[in-house]
Amino acid sequence: MQKLFVTFFYSGLLRPAPGTWGSLAGAIVGVAIYYYIGLETLFLASILLFLASISIIDSYEAKSGTHDDSSIVIDEVAGVWVAISIALSSWEQFEVDKFGWISVVLAFVFFRILDITKPSIIGRLDRNLKGGLGVMSDDMVAGGFAGLIAAACVAILVKFGLII
């Protein structure tokens, strides 16, 4: 059951690039949560997922003898949910494009870039925090920054009339 959870329904077992597959699966579920339940629920779900995942990852890693194995993608799911929720909150402000696909795609792309490159504090969190907290924290921060960057991009696109 833990493996099902930490691999987000086994999407983390897909190769190559399990983190990207997990992020994509998470983005699809995140968009569904947003569409059917709401933006606030998506953001709160990312926080709850973060909190629940810490102890589950700790237990999973103790049993498997690994740390931050590439198949663990629940951190990517929580991070991409944060990114999408922040990006879509800017989309709702501007009321551009019918659903906010531009915001979702930008959030996903920027999240993957930040999660892979781990610049600045994201990399420090990844290197210095251990256990489930370490696995989850860098992705949550990457998601926050990715969402802000995506929101800024949407604002620029609206400002210059490139999306209506």
SS (H, E, C) 36-47: HCCHHHHHHHHH
pLDDT tier for residue 138 given thresholds of 50, 70 and 90: very high
For the entire predicted model, the pTM comes to 0.94
Q: Is the pLDDT of residue 92 over 80?
A: no
With the CA atoms of 20, 21, 25 and 27 taken in that order, what torsion angle do they form, in degrees rounded to the nearest 10? 20
pLDDT tier for residue 53 given thresholds of 50, 70 and 90: very high
Position 2 scores a pLDDT of 94
| CA nearest to 94, candidates 164, 34, 24 | 164
- Lowest-pLDDT range of 79-88, 99-108, 109-118: 99-108
Position 110 scores a pLDDT of 99
**Going by C-beta distance under 8 Å and a sequence separation of 6 or more, which residues neighbour residue 101?**
none
Mean pLDDT of 115-126: 96
Residue 130 DSSP label: -
Q: Is the pLDDT of residue 97 over 60?
A: no
Percent of the chain surpassing pLDDT 90: 81
Mean pLDDT of 101-127: 96
